[in-house]
Structure 1
């Protein structure tokens, strides 16, 4: 304890800072025991590159990710006595090309990619988390099926946007089966007060429940992502209405800082602690490297003193990691005392 399953570095991500080694060193300094390195998956069309990537190409993004794998494995070997490094990839789904390309990459690099963080950053091929004007463009692009574009209301566009996001998330889950579900309700980034339970007269919430059930059924972990706090939220991803649903469905939760450089490692974990304690979250999980058979399909049995559940994983990644429950009362770990005291001292 503690862990993070989601991070980036400026060495391989243009909107992050620092080197991958600096990120790892900071995680060690703060006392992380398991830290996930989850660089972004390549994108496969030139128009899907971000402005800061204007000098790159889809082929270059692919090569950058392979270089990330090289460096991540080098660092794992160097720091193995100090920290467990998980080596992964964070997804996106813009067009079917992304699923095809990701599937091919996962197969080609099966021995080097431990796990997948399943995330969506686009709806109707438009980024939803780049900046607010681009998000509003995504909203305006939405026209519910059978509606007149000239008369459709903004509320109807918003419902269509959220439903499209959830449908994309569901497709990603069913196709890739990511071990970690990344920032489940990122679609609310610019509007944290939105209630997915009440918007859309129940149509949105039914898709939320469908997606949660899918992830629970195949054994994914839902990340509790502290990045929402630095975005101005007063709760983490997922927000409480969804977290409550996940818990009631017996979904399993893990921690992530979604750091974009050494300066953000562990950032706002004190707020994450308070958020979880306020909602009586007593059980946390993490991914553990394992020496299970990596055949074309296998069952992965969770290690839990009280329950034993088996989840079938598809593809050649089967068995590279397994979920384990944090032993004892997670909040009693000395990391949290240091974390809370450090934050208190910084405000004096």
Structure 2
């Protein structure tokens, strides 16, 4: 079993539990591959989160914290992935989560990857902000981001989100696309969309917002063109969704336009969230999307990151699933 997106309380203030304990939990559950993907530093104090401000952090603290993370993660990787291990262990893949906050941060990611080469094996390409305002922190901030745009519509917010996502994709070509449709997390479902007269919960991106859908398909096709993976991220379920990110319409578009190159992620922020709701994601894979294959990252003998493919029927037989019964 595999996860391509995780965090620890050692290096992320809104997470809990230390890095070793997160990895120990993954190993005890039977994960064969586990990616460590702490957030890249944000460059300015104005982007600090409340929990970071409480710690009297500055952006410089985020930078030094990230440096400690890379050193720590690489040391764990060298221990766990050693050929001298006497028993099978979880293979550790060291990565970072891109913060597609704005062009400055996207360009800064390139410098980070150069600085830490070859220790960073993969990237998760994410967008958590629109117009430099967080869109997945709270419903109020989602509304604030929307209202910061000229026409103050959700449709425009979606357009800006997918345009910024494309900038992340085109400049960085992230190995894994993080929570593709995160913009939907706090959308006000019972508000009326003024551009269609429909409730937000009844909006079909493809039929009602074709301009948004065009960007979704464009982004998917671009990821397919460079061989990236799309995560099915179980964190959406613990946040109230009935499915992982992305929702069914986008997931089906990824099958149609992106080759269906899905990988699995728990996006854990604590021990309790490692592998959480994976069985529900697996049901989504088998019975909703009806996928035949799942992809995952691996490290070959030369230390290079490669993409592996396993059939759903084969993975379905894994003893991993017995712990969810």
Taking structure 2 as the reference length, the TM-score comes to 0.89
Which ranges of structure 2 fall in alignment gaps of 5 or more residues?
A: 190-200
2:215 maps to 1:230: no
Residue 95 (structure 1) shift: 2.3
Whether contact under 8 Å (1:40, 1:91) holds in the other structure is: yes
Inter-partner Cα distance in structure 2 for 1:339 and 1:246: 30
Aligned counterpart, 1:335: 320
Which residue is 2:195 aligned to? Answer: none
SS of aligned partner of 1:160: helix
What is the DSSP-based 3-state SS (H/G/I as helix, E as strand, rest coil) of the residue aligned with 2:95? strand
Which of 123, 126, 144 is residue 119 of structure 1 equivalent to?
126
Tell whether the 8 Å contact from 2:8 to 2:269 is kept in structure 1 after alignment.
yes
1:215 aligns with 2:211: no
CA contact (8 A) 1:4 1:36 kept: yes
Of 319, 323, 340, which aligns to 2:307?
323
Deviation of residue 195 (structure 1)?
3.4
User: Structure 1: how far apart are the matches of 2:264 and 2:5?
Assistant: 9
| Structure-1 separation of matches of 2:231 and 2:213 | 19
Does residue 103 of structure 2 align to residue 93 of structure 1? no
Post-superposition shift, 1:10? 0.5
2:34 corresponds to 1:26: no
Q: Is the 8 A contact 1:142 1:158 kept in 2?
A: no
Aligned partner of 1:290 in structure 2 is 300
Q: Any runs of at least 4 consecutive aligned residues in structure 1 with deviations exceeding 4 A, and if so which?
A: none
Distance 1:39 1:286 in 2: 19
In 1: Cα distance, 2:205 partner to 2:314 partner: 31
1:160 & 1:339 partners in 2: Cα distance?
43
1:78 is aligned to 2:88: no
- After TM superposition, the score normalised by the length of structure 1 is 0.83
Aligned to 1:158: 154
Q: Using the alignment, how far apart are the partners of 1:321 and 1:286 within structure 2?
A: 10
**Residues 9 and 261 of structure 1 are in contact (CA less than 8 Å); yes or no, is this contact kept in structure 2?**
yes
Report the counterpart of residue 102 of structure 1 in structure 2: 109
Match of 2:281 in 1: 272
Q: Distance in 2 between matches of 1:46 and 1:260?
A: 23
Shift, 1:4, TM fit: 0.2
Tell me the distance in 2 between the aligned counterparts of 1:128 and 1:19: 27
CA contact (8 A) 2:124 2:174 kept: yes
Gaps of 5+ in 1: 144-151, 293-318, 342-348
Structure 2 distance, partners of 1:41, 1:195, is 33
1:142–1:161 CA contact under 8 A, matched in 2: yes
Distance 1:126 1:215 in 2: 25
In structure 2, distance between residues paired with 1:195 and 1:86: 37
Q: In structure 1, what is the equivalent of residue 193 of structure 2?
A: none
Report how far residue 220 of structure 1 moved: 0.3
Q: 1:129-163: per-residue Cα shift (whole Å, max 9, x none)?
A: 111111111111122xxxxxxxx4x5xx1111000
Cα shift at 1:329 = 2.5
CA offset at residue 251 of structure 1? 3.3
For residues 30-56 of structure 1, the C-alpha deviation after alignment (integer angstroms, 9 at most, x for no partner) is 000000000001111110111111111
Once residues 121 and 174 of structure 2 are traced to their aligned partners in structure 1, the CA distance between those partners, rounded to angstroms, is: 11
1:291 to partner: Cα distance: 4.7
> Against the structure 1 CA distance between its residues 18 and 198, is the aligned structure 2 distance closer, same or farther, given a 3 Å change threshold?
same
Aligned partners of 1:326, 1:339: CA distance in 2, in Å?
21
Seen in structure 2, the aligned counterparts of structure 1 residues 11 and 195 have a Cα distance that, compared at 3 Å, is farther
Counterpart Cα distance in 2 of 1:103 and 1:119: 14
CA distance in 2, matches of 1:329, 1:31: 15
Cα RMSD of the aligned pairs, angstroms, is 1.5
Deviation at 1:24, TM superposition (A): 0.3
Cα drift, residue 173 of structure 1: 0.4
- What SS does the corresponding residue of 1:205 show, helix, strand or coil? helix
User: What secondary structure is seen at the aligned counterpart in 1 of 2:179?
Assistant: coil
CA drift of 1:199 comes to: 3.9
> Does the CA contact (< 8 Å) of 2:268 and 2:274 recur in 1?
yes
Number of the residue aligned with 1:62: 63
